[in-house]
Amino acid sequence: MENTAEIRDLVQAVLKARKIAKIYPAGNQTYIRTIDAVCKKFSEVFESTEEITLHIKQGEVLCEGEQVDYNPERHDNLALLLYKDGLRELTFRRDLSREEVESFLKVIACDEKELIDIDMVTLLWEEDFQHIKYVIDESILTDDETYDPSIEKRDVEEPTESEELFDAYRDACSAEYVEPVEIAPLSPADIHDLTMEFERDAEVKSYKLVNIIFELCYQTKDSGECKEIASILEAMMDFFISNNDITSIIDVLKKITLLLEDSQIPPAMRVFLSGRVNYAGSPEIIRGVGTLLDSGEGIDENTLDEFVSYLGANAIQPFIDVLGGLQKISARRRIISILALLGPKDVGTLFEGLSDNRWYVVRNLVCVARAIGDKRAIGPLVDALSYPEARVRREVIRTLGEMRASQALPALQQCLDDADQQIRIATVRALRHMRTEEVKYLLMRRMREDTFIDKKYEEKRCFFECLSAWKDKEVADFLADMLRKRGVVKRKKNYESRACAAYALGMTGDEGHIAFLRKYEESGNELLKEHVQEAIRKLADENE
């Protein structure tokens, strides 16, 4: 690769800017100079290429197979931070704007403490970049972290030296009339083999005990004996979960299911067996599952899915309770996936959780509702729009948009007046999913209001991008009128609106707008000029 050195310099400039963005506010001169320097580096690389694709590894960044950054440490390791959140590839395309560079730096400037309840991919999605694309590993939503655990900081106890052990043993055996006996020390391999043998022995005995208990089920007719057997089954499941043995619990549940289908099982025993299936979804068992997921040891995905397949609606609330105490993002994602499977069995219990006073639990349950896609969730989700935490409201708005919940339009319309700009932007993006005439006219009406010009550039651009999705003549005429609109007062704000209108025309895909756009190609305003030229290029490229 000819420009390896330039890309390596660019990556280093980005890493330096990331540190600056953590320290200095946006208006600081050091901050501004740093952003300018990164933009200059991008421009230099783009002189020889159309796009830059970076492959993210656990502790390094590659470009076309060549290493452009390497950091073996866990601390302040951007590559590892991106990798852990599932990011595998980043692509920067020509015409990358300064605003996008600055927004990207703000995203990656977040450290791990800030990312406890949100991940890097979500932050990138919320920015909706036009010239920055990324590829994620979808398996990260269900799997535990797959990065090399040797990167993590670990405290390792040094083993006692074998010679010291031998000396201690010899001293203990030096009593009078006792012949000293030399005992060869156990090697680590010996200890490992003994441990495995003990574990296998316990597994065999557990398996035999389970079979004996189920044999008794055929012979038991007395209610007291049935209750005793049921109690033993519960104790066995408690024992298995305390030893992180999900497989043995599955074996118990599988045998119970087969027995319930057997007509030879006494009716009294059948009643007690049914209750033991529900016990698998009890708070005691589910807490154990949560602890295991959060421990980092993990549970095989297929094993966990099989366990969940035996659970009933009574497991929903325990899983919600567990969700609030998990520390690992990977564990929370797996619980979210489980609740998405169990939720349809009792949506009422699931939606009651939307009033939980722990905002992070509510936000995760909103993700569950989105995964289920049940229209019955729309009412509770609309109620959740009044939740005090903005991060919850953003997730609710996104969910209502993806569900295309047109009945939620009146509530979403109120969100357009929220004091939080990110809430307003999230609402506009959600409305884009609905794609109805009512939404189109709502957006146009808002954009005609006198106060619209005073909005920040990012919010105005979001409105224009959303409106361009309709791609009809009425919208095109509206955008053209906005581009023509001149103003004596608030000239800078007016140019921002006109630039956004030009950009939106470029997103319509209609090459018939090129001739109209060329009238403004040499505008004296740099922002308008850039957006017009970008729109023309986009339309020309799409119609080649």
Domain annotation covers residue 148: no
DSSP state of 386: T
Domain annotation covers residue 440: no
Domain annotation covers residue 158: no
AA identity, residue 517: L
Residues 211 and 313 in one domain: yes
Handedness of CA 205, 206, 207, 212 (dihedral sign): positive
Give pLDDT, residue 71.
83
Q: What is the pTM of this model?
A: 0.58
AA identity, residue 332: R
Give pLDDT, residue 30.
75
**Separation CA 208–CA 223 (nearest Å):** 24
Last residue of a domain, one of 136, 154, 175: 136
Number of domains in the chain: 2
Residues 214 and 340 in one domain: yes
**Separation CA 73–CA 8 (nearest Å):** 19
Per-residue three-class SS string for 215-241: HHHHHCCCHHHHHHHHHHHHHHHHHHH
Residues 121 and 219 in one domain: no
Residues 130 and 14 in one domain: yes
Query: Is-contact 83 56, C-beta < 8 A?
Result: yes
Last residue of a domain, one of 311, 345, 379: 345
Residues β-bridged to residue 60: 70
Domain annotation covers residue 302: yes
Give pLDDT, residue 53.
92
**Separation CA 435–CA 401 (nearest Å):** 10
Using alpha carbons, list the distances in angstroms from residue 461 to 127, 129, 144, 496, 524.
12, 12, 38, 8, 20
Last residue of a domain, one of 315, 345, 375: 345
Domain annotation covers residue 446: no
Give pLDDT, residue 442.
95
**Separation CA 344–CA 220 (nearest Å):** 36
Transcribe 89-103 into DSSP letters: EEEEETT--HHHHHH
Domain annotation covers residue 404: no
**Separation CA 369–CA 365 (nearest Å):** 6
Instruction: Identify the helix (H) or strand (E) that includes residue 88.
Output: strand 87-93
Using alpha carbons, list the distances in angstroms from residue 119 to 75, 137, 316.
18, 13, 25
Query: Is-contact 423 397, C-beta < 8 A?
Result: yes
Give pLDDT, residue 159.
42
Read off the tokens for 79: 């590559």
Query: Is-contact 246 304, C-beta < 8 A?
Result: yes
Give pLDDT, residue 152.
40
**Separation CA 433–CA 398 (nearest Å):** 9
**In the chain, which stretches have pLDDT less than 50?**
141-161, 175, 181, 198, 204
- Domain interval for residue 87: 4-136
Query: Is-contact 536 521, C-beta < 8 A?
Result: yes
Burial class (CB in 10 A: 0-12, 13-18, 19+), 449: exposed
Domain annotation covers residue 456: no
Residues 121 and 223 in one domain: no
**Separation CA 7–CA 67 (nearest Å):** 10
- Map residue 59 onto helix, strand or coil: coil
Domain annotation covers residue 123: yes
In 3D space, the residue among 127, 123, 125, 134 whose CA is nearest the CA of residue 54 turns out to be: 134
